Copies of this chain bind each other. A is one copy, B any other.
Amino acid sequence: MPAYRSGSGNPAHTLALLWREPGFGQSARGPKQGLSVDRVVDAAITLADTAGLDGLSMRSVARAVDVSTMALYTYVPGKAELVDLMLDAVYLRMERPPVDRQSWRSRLTAIAEQNRALFGMHPWIADVSTARPPLGPGLMAKYEYELSAFNGLGLDDVAIDDALTYLLTFVQAAARTAISTRASQRDSTMSDEQWWAANAPLLARVFDSTAYPTAARVGTAAGAAHGSAHHPDHAYQFGLARVLDGLAVLIGGQQASAGR
């Protein structure tokens, strides 16, 4: 899929749109606009939530808000900028409960969970390019909030940014796995278990398990341990524990919670 994300277009225009600068929604002369940027963005988010970024087409958005396709281009310069606006909009709407929890582990776990929930509601986010993020009010609020979870840990500003980036990168990666697992099941009429089951006998014929003894042993063990169904969830839980343990070493002092 094309890496839909602006950076492309005029940064000034995109920024003005993100912050809903006046002078972009209305001009003196001519007919009034029948819609608003927000209506368009909301419709697009709703569509993308069920169809994904590729299923999201300018035509489908136009149909949803009941205008011709090209009318959208008076609200938004193009699909890349629309995605920017969608992303900032969902960022802005995230819940941000107070972060006064005792331990930093529970604070960071909460941040991770909130982001995981976001990917759950809006799977298309996982496909949005992360370079050159939309510098809108949503991203700012999210960044400000998440940084606050790192207060009082003795990290300097640069380390705080690094640590947050690390945490969020992990959540995004885990979410991508979960999403693509779901997507595979959805558009193949075959469940994951059925797929592995369908492959097993053929694989047995073609695959010399003496040639790859460790792979055969570990793969079998891993497959048996979790029916391959909850695999993404398990990977998230395992990974988050590791991420926190890794950060614990950076933060120092705290004793890590071992065990799997």
Measured CB to CB, the residues of A under 8 A from B are: 1-3, 5, 7-8, 11-12, 15-16, 19, 21, 54, 127, 129-132, 135, 140-141, 143-144, 147-148, 156-162, 165-166, 169-170, 172-174, 176-177, 180-181, 183-184, 187-188, 190, 192, 195, 198-199, 202-203, 206-207, 211-215, 217-219, 221-222, 225, 230, 234-235, 238-239, 241-250, 252, 256-258, 260
Beyond A143-B215, A187-B8, A195-B132, whether A256 also contacts B260 by CB under 8 A is no
Contact call A173/B169, Cβ cutoff below 8 A: yes
Evaluate contact between B144 and A215: CB separation under 8 angstroms. Answer: yes
Nearest B residue to A143, CB-CB: B215
Question: Would B247 and A192 count as touching, CB distance under 8 A?
Answer: no
Q: Are B157 and A217 in contact (CB under 8 A)?
A: yes
B258 with A249: CB separation less than 8 A: yes
A157 touches B54 (CB 8 A): no
CB <8 Å contact, B3 and A2? no
Q: Which of B165, B180, B218, B249 contacts A129 (CB 8 A)?
A: B180
Residues of B within 8 A of A12 (CB): 198, 202
A166 → chain B closest CB, angstroms:
5
